[in-house]
Amino acid sequence: MLESLDPSALTIRCLGDREISSPLDRLMAESDPGHEFYTDDHRVLVQHELSDITQVIAEGKEFPCFEVAGPRKKIYFDPAQTHCAIVTCGGLCPGLNDVIRAIVMQAYYRYGVRRIYGIPYGFEGLIPEYGHAIVNLTPDAVANIHEFGGTWLGTSRGPQDVLRMVDRLQELNINILFVIGGDGSQRGAIALEQEARKRGAKLAVVGIPKTIDNDMIYMDKSFGYETAAAEAVQAVHAAHTEARSARGGIGLVKLMGRHSGFIACAAALASGEVNAVLIPEVPFALEGEQGFLEVMRQRVVSRGHAVIITAEGAGQEHLGSTGETDASGNTRLGDIGHFLKERLTEHFQKCGTPLTLKYIDPSYMIRSVPASPQDRIYCMRLGQAAVHAGMAGKTGLIVARWHSVYVHVPISVATSARRMVDPKQDVWLSVLESTGQPPRFH
């Protein structure tokens, strides 16, 4: 991925020259005279491993770098004339309300922006026929929303007509649109940015990436992931209790992870109670002496019980294509949880081995919980960085944390590939060491 990353593709577009003194200049001068503003020349290396750095130097190439996020001394938009809007799209994820609140508080109190609107029910809210009323967002309105799960603005899946959405944004005189959503939503955001650019509209589009699966590239983690992993551990504890309390007990837990198994891996490592983890990145065989079914049976025979985690996208090679897509255009996956439950039951019966299997799918319970304290901090920082970027007139970017530094990543780059668990790297090795499962079920 790094080899094909053109440094010029990491340039962040700005709507124009920044000529307005930031209100933060006065605030910082009064509270911390030594505080440093960031310039566009503050950069962070995309790759920090010595071998990659040495290679770039040897080839005489330019280093791919991300622009550092944060306040600029000069901004593009006049706060007194600025209209902001926030939209949340896609599935639920812990921390959505925290990000909404952070954007409102930052824009209102630090920059003095007084016109902040909430777009209800995702991109649907920009299509008048749906009849969704635009929400006026104030600090009082969002003061306590971070204590609740879900999204205070509502959400929806699927694309809407880009031309009509930009029409609506222009009718509302929106200068900055904050899009909180996953890779599909961010592709919608870049389509909005491109259409606004064609029209010559001074609209800054800033994304805050949301993916509970932690599968967007060029970021240390996605918000909500830590909360989701912690909640998943509770489901694993329940499965372990059920399994060890029954004769021939198996606790089977299905967790989120359409394409990437990060939550499954994290829950296994954090609980220390899991005997097998199945993720989309690692195919597995069902039958045979070293196949999944027999290895799990032998585990139950020798130790009395077993705990299994499967990511929702694991084992799709055994289920075949459903031929269906959801509202977001994603392929509908086969239900690996129920499939494994049935196959394990059949295999144990065929072998005459007692089995008591309890199946747990906590996915929607996990998605709906409020963010943990650590995730709340992360959401706050992302919201603040997004407002800094928007007020500076930067557009077509997401804010993210990379190598522990908050940065600007072009949306086109952030959506160009998917982050996945590498079976050859240390995360998967740690899972294998923790569970004791074979590297491959074959």
Is 213 a known active-site residue?
A: yes
Rounded Cα distance between 215 and 311, Å, is 13
Point out the catalytic residue in the list 98, 213, 215, 375.
Answer: 213
Helix (H), strand (E) at residue 356 = strand 356-360
Quickly list DSSP for 46-72. Answer: S---HHHHHHHHHHTPPPPEEEEPS--
Q: How many residues does the chain have?
A: 442
What are the angstrom distances between the C-alpha of 98 and each of 86, 180, 212?
13, 11, 15
User: Coil, strand, or helix at residue 397?
Assistant: strand
Rounded Cα distance between 376 and 109, Å, is 19
DSSP label of 331: B
User: Six-digit token pair at 192?
Assistant: 């909005």
Q: Are residues 254 and 310 in contact, defined by beta-carbon separation less than 8 angstroms?
A: yes
Query: Given phi > 0 = left and psi -120 to 50 = alpha, else beta, which region is 304?
Result: left
Q: Are residues 269 and 430 in contact, defined by beta-carbon separation less than 8 angstroms?
A: yes
Residues identified as active-site: 213
